[in-house]
Amino acid sequence: MKKYLWVTVIIFVFCACKTAPDKTVKLFNGINLEGWHADIPDADNNPGLEPSFLVRDSLLVSMGEPRGHLITDSIFQNYRLEVEYRFANEPGNCGILVHASTPRALYKMFPQSLEVQMQYGDAGDFWCIVEDITVPDMMERRGPEEEWGITEGKKRRIINLTNNSENPLGEWNNMKIECVADTIKVWVNDDLVNLGYNCTATKGQIAVQAEGVEVEFRKLELTAIGQTTP
């Protein structure tokens, strides 16, 4: 049985009560990858591969290759996730996956989830990965309705609302993702870059991608919230 199938998942669900005090959890402790597990398809038959994720100088580093995901052991809902990241050496692709569940549900690689894109120049796009979401101006931002879908070969990308929200290459970016009930909102460097509703999932694991280039993370923190920021 593959390793990723027998990892024990701890159910960690934040309270949605508006009167509950904010509770912030550091998903990355700056020391090791405690609370996470990696799913790297190429490692199934080659366990000696170099790690796709490591801790270096108190930073979580996605090395980009071999491709795969670093996934929380715990399940979350009703939260604000704050991420500080940068492409240190070259521009490229990465992403934060929320409401993640079934491993390798798309292209035998991506877990079922809703991706918040971090690709350089496109931060804040939504990508539907066997989950779906509705946004304003769907036809303009997703393409012809008859081509929409959540699996291979379908239009799964929903373009973000802004341009030039990211900082120059090598500088740190701040991304905030709010997930409450079936609503998801995303800010990049304080610009509202996407918002959606009627998401087909409302809770799940959180994942960081290794998708081709090195990306550094210095902050991954979750705060319990009962409603999204107006």
Instruction: Read off the tokens for 188.
Output: 């990049």
Domains of the chain are 7-40+50-224 (2.60.120.560)
Question: For residue 19, is pLDDT > 80?
Answer: no
Q: Which of 123, 119, 130 is nearest to 199 (CA)?
A: 130
pLDDT average, residue stretch 81-96? 96
Q: CA-CA distance, 101 to 201, in Å (whole number)?
A: 9
Backbone φ, ψ for residue 48 (5° rounding): -85, 5
Q: Is 166 helix (H, G, I), strand (E, B) or coil?
A: coil
Q: Mean of the per-residue pLDDT values for the chain?
A: 92
pLDDT tens-place string over residues 147-196: 999 999 999 999 999 999 999 999 999 999 999 999 999 999 999 999 99
The whole-number pLDDT of residue 88 equals 86
Query: Is beta strand 74-75 parallel, antiparallel or unpaired with respect to 10-11?
Result: parallel
Question: For residue 39, is pLDDT > 60?
Answer: yes
Predicted TM-score (pTM) of the model is 0.91
Question: For residue 3, is pLDDT > 80?
Answer: no
Is the bond preceding residue 66 a cis peptide, omega within 30 degrees?
A: yes
DSSP symbols for 34-102: TTEEEE-GGGSS-TTSPPSEEEETTEEEE---S-EEEEESEEB-SEEEEEEEE-SSS----EEEEEE-S
Q: CA-CA distance, 67 to 196, in Å (whole number)?
A: 28
Q: Taking a C-beta distance cutoff of 8 angstroms, is the pair 41, 52 a contact?
A: no
Question: For residue 17, is pLDDT > 50?
Answer: no
Instruction: Read off the tokens for 215.
Output: 């990306």
Please state, for a pLDDT cut of 90, what percent of the chain lies above it.
89
pLDDT average, residue stretch 70-85? 98
For the four alpha carbons of 185, 121, 68 and 128, in that order, the dihedral sign comes to positive
Say how many C-beta atoms besides its own lie within 10 A of residue 188's C-beta.
23
Q: Taking a C-beta distance cutoff of 8 angstroms, is the pair 9, 74 a contact?
A: yes
Residue 22 pLDDT level (bands cut at 50, 70, 90): low
Eight-class DSSP state of 147: G
Q: Which of 130, 116, 119 is nearest to 185 (CA)?
A: 116
Contacts of 7 (CB under 8 A, 6+ apart): 37, 73
Q: CA-CA distance, 52 to 39, in Å (whole number)?
A: 9
pLDDT tens-place string over residues 97-142: 999 999 999 999 999 999 999 999 999 999 999 999 999 999 999 9
Question: For residue 66, is pLDDT > 50?
Answer: yes
